[in-house]
Amino acid sequence: MIESVRAAFSLPDLRKRILFTVGMLVIYRLLANIPVPGVNLQAWQAFTNQDSGNTVINFLDLLSGGAVRNFSVMAMGVYPYITASIIIQLLTPIIPQLEELSSEGESGRNKVNKITYYLTVPLALVQAVGQINIVGSSLGGAGLAGIMPNFGFTAELLLPTLTTLFAMVGGTMTAIWIGERITEEGIGQGISLIIFGGIVARILPNTARLFALEDTTARVFSIAAFLALTVFTVLVIVIIQEGQRRIPVQYGRRVRGRKVYQGQSSFVPLKVNTAGMIPIIFAQSILTFPPLLASFFVNPNNSDGGIFSTIMTAIASFGTQQNPEIAPGSFFAYWFVYFVLVVAFTFFYTDVMVRQQNLPQTLQRQGGFIPGIRPGKRTETYIMSVVRRITTAGAIFLGLVAILPGIMSLLGVILRIDGIEQSALVINGSGLIIVVGVVIDTMRQLEAQLLMRHYEGFIR
């Protein structure tokens, strides 16, 4: 591997791509430290430093590449673009015009990408308002006025509010532009690398929190749990992410002109985890949406607002309290709903993706068939049954990875070890899925570049 890295840097064009990628990531990390106009950064950092277990804040911080902790102009990261891409992907088989564009090759895909960009802007604007309101509801008694005193839609606060919103939307579009430049002129998938860079940047500060625990027993157990969780989770992620079921395919003899092509044997690879971490993003979005709506009906200045206000306050704070001893009902409800949503969305998204590929028609058009299975409807039924069967393992795996912080919090209460839940927050399961996936994808791209130049790659 060392020889391969040295060979990669010895090639001028490949070295340029690697250095360009690193340079763009450095620029993104610099921009992630520029605070949003009008934010009280000291008050916000005081809150995030003492409330590392807030699942809503942690999820938003994950997708922004660590920018939420600084409440920077990059606080939304590329999440609006990811949301827009998922929406377009799900609408493609429903809307004939989008399906026609997606089948027109490169020009059609460019038009679909342009539609995705147009959809990203209003989504970013709505998310900016929602994210600020969620942050305000997470602050409890201090409310939004504690960190953003000039935010509101009254006449005197409209101008600073628009400045804040436009800065956040501009940061998102800049992050997307940086990601696109990395994809085209660098190495790896740019959007994924931006999230990857933010996750890796948080590892050292989060690890330092484990060593800063006052109780020696808690410190030793937390560090040991972090190492064991990381090694075990990475091992399982690699096995599940790379695992696939190969369905054998036989091609009949074909005659083209004067040449006769004999039948060949091949296979269709079906991945155990086709959906990646998209179900986790879906599930967190669904869990974040009700608190977002409820936060608009919470009046922090009126503590006695009746039953409606009490219900809205409870919904707005759903998932923010992660201590099973203080609020056991909310704790178990949150993680149970989270697990169920991740499993359900894994089956849903995998089903959509496989049906979009239209494997039965593709095989029939190329003269291929699965031995023992009739072409057409029978082939489709067989493929979907295999996909759903192997997706069960991937869905349960994703669900367990998603609720890992909750499992560690419960374990800490059972074992009476304070702070052990932080071992799952140094780099949580969702972050590990991204890190492992991005590393494998980037290594394969580097390997392809080296193999084109007759060098040995990274992966044996």
**Tokens representing residue 419 in the block:** 């702070």
| Residue 90, burial from CB neighbour count under 10 angstroms (0-12, 13-18, 19+) | middle
How many whole angstroms from its chain centre is CA 124?
16
Report the helix count and the strand count for the chain, using DSSP H and E.
Answer: 17, 5
Domains and CATH numbers, the chain: 1-212+430-460 (1.10.3370.10), 220-427 (1.10.3370.10)
Contact yes or no for 62/281 (Cβ under 8 A): no
Q: What is the pLDDT along the chain (460 residues), one digit of tens a residue?
A: 667 677 777 778 888 888 898 899 889 888 888 888 888 777 777 766 655 555 566 666 666 666 777 778 888 888 788 888 878 877 877 888 887 887 777 788 788 888 888 999 998 888 888 777 766 666 654 556 667 777 777 788 888 888 888 998 998 899 889 988 988 888 888 888 887 877 787 777 777 777 777 777 777 877 887 788 788 888 888 888 788 888 888 876 666 666 655 567 778 888 888 877 778 777 877 777 777 667 666 655 555 556 766 777 667 666 665 666 676 777 788 888 888 988 998 888 888 778 777 788 877 777 778 888 888 788 888 888 888 888 888 888 888 888 877 777 777 777 776 666 666 665 666 777 778 878 887 887 777 777 776 655 555 5
| Residue 308, burial from CB neighbour count under 10 angstroms (0-12, 13-18, 19+) | exposed
* pTM confidence score: 0.73
Per-residue pLDDT at 323: 65
What are the CA-CA distances from residue 305 to residues 135, 298, 321 (Å)? Answer: 21, 9, 22
What are the CA-CA distances from residue 70 to residues 47, 140, 295, 400 (Å)? Answer: 11, 19, 22, 29
Distance CA 318, CA 324 (A): 13
Contact yes or no for 171/73 (Cβ under 8 A): yes
φ and ψ at residue 31, rounded to 5 degrees: -65, -30
Distance CA 330, CA 340 (A): 15
Residue with tokens 């070890």: 417
Distance CA 424, CA 419 (A): 10
